[in-house]
């Protein structure tokens, strides 16, 4: 099993450009999440999904959109990138039950110039 994979691993964007980050999981998990990690801030939840076709806002959703068309995939989109979106982005997945482990991908490092 690959677990949670993320594409790409690293990307440089210019301000105003758009891009999509792809997350895939092979554990048949219902829940999927997108976080961003910045120095001294821990992980902050951007958007999450409790099942195929559903999405919800997290703590810092502005400037991002998501889609979950297939259970195994969760896409994070930046329509018009800004330097403030320079960060490391992590995708995670988990089962439904309370207190379940979240399994994280290796991260995508994004630099917006």
Partner 1 sequence: TQLLEQSPQFLSIQEGENLTVYCNSSSVFSSLQWYRQEPGEGPVLLVTVVTGGEVKKLKRLTFQFGDARKDSSLHITAAQPGDTGLYLCAGNRNYNQGGKLIFGQGTELSVKP
Binding site for partner 1 (CB under 8 A): 4, 31, 33, 35, 40-45, 48, 50, 58-59, 90, 92, 94-102, 104-107
Which residue is listed with tokens 């207190």? 99
The nearest distance, CB 97 to partner 1, in angstroms, is 5
Least Cα distance to 33 among 21, 19, 20, 50 occurs for: 50
Q: Distance between CA 106 and CA 7 in Å, rounded?
A: 10
Per-position DSSP letters for 1-40, written without gaps between them: ---EEEE-SEEEE-TT--EEEEEEESS--SEEEEEEEETT
Nearer to partner 1, 35 or 74 (CB): 35
Cβ nearer to partner 1, comparing 14 with 99: 99
Shortest distance (Å) from residue 99 CB to partner 1: 4
Min CB(3)–partner 1 separation in Å: 9
Nearer to partner 1, 17 or 107 (CB): 107
């Amino acid at each position: 099993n690959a677990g949670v994979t993320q594409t790409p691993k690293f990307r440089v964007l210019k301000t105003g450009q758009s891009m999509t980050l792809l997350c895939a999981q092979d554990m048949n998990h219902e829940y999927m999440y997108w976080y961003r990690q910045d120095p001294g801030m821990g992980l902050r939840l951007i958007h999450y999904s409790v099942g195929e076709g559903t999405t919800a806002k997290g703590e810092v959703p502005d400037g991002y959109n998501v889609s979950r068309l297939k259970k195994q995939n969760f896409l994070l989109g930046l329509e018009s990138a800004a330097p403030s979106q320079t960060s490391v982005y992590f995708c995670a997945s988990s089962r439904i039950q309370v207190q379940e482990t979240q399994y994280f991908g290796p991260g995508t490092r994004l630099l917006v110039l």
